[in-house]
Copies of this chain bind each other. A is one copy, B any other.
Amino acid sequence: MSADTPDAAALQEEVEQLREQVEELQDGGSNKMTIVATKGTLDMAYPPLILATTAAAFGWDVVVFHTFWALEVLHEERSKDLKLSAVGNPNMPLPNAVAAVPGMDRAATWMMERRIDENNTASVEELLETAFQTGVRMQACQMTMDLLDYEDDDLYDEVEAGVGAATALEHMADSDVQLLV
């Protein structure tokens, strides 16, 4: 046998290999998602947590890379006490002059927390626990940890601290879904 006269059996085998690879490409393998989280308010903590835990429940590989204000969500103490802003949010039914009154952020936060409770919506703390239990990889950006003065010890034990933008990009390149919140 030479390259010019390949035998049909060998060719058959090659074709079968190709078919498997094509099927894997069509299927996309198991789904992967990377979320870049940048927000640390009570409302904006939800989209990454809901999407991550829902995806993990369906067997996806999920990485959430937390940078800037989203580091608050990984902070063991402060994540229990995230706030909503009453000012600068025209979707809240309060004029800014009232919203800026001392205590108004606290009031808006309290209203939202009550609604979360009344609707049996999971709290941030509960969603974090679910994320950790279902294998969502919660990462903290090194550059912004330095910039905003977070220590490893401030964060939940399960957090992968000290991750760089290059690693986050690598995860994104491998992901079917990438989102920045």
Contacts and interface: CB of A to CB of B under 8 A. Distances in A.
Interface of A: 3-9, 11-12, 14-15, 18-19, 21-22, 25-26, 28, 31, 33, 36, 38, 40-41, 43-44, 46-47, 50-51, 54-55, 57-58, 60, 67-69, 72, 82-91, 95-97, 99-102, 104-105, 109, 115-116, 119, 121, 143, 146-149, 164-166, 168-169, 172-173, 175-181
14 contacts: A6-B9, A8-B11, A25-B25, A33-B169, A46-B68, A47-B68, A50-B165, A55-B169, A58-B169, A60-B169, A90-B109, A96-B100, A172-B179, A178-B179
A90 B100 contact: no
A90 B85 contact: yes
Contacts of A177: 169, 172-173, 175, 178
A115 B149 CA distance: 9
A90 B12 CA distance: 65
Contacts of A7: 8
A58 to B, nearest CB: 7
Contact of A96 (B15, B68, B86): B86
Contact of A54 (B12, B97, B121, B166): B166
Nearest to A40: B91
Given A54-B165, A90-B109, 5 more contacts: A6-B8, A44-B68, A95-B102, A99-B100, A116-B147
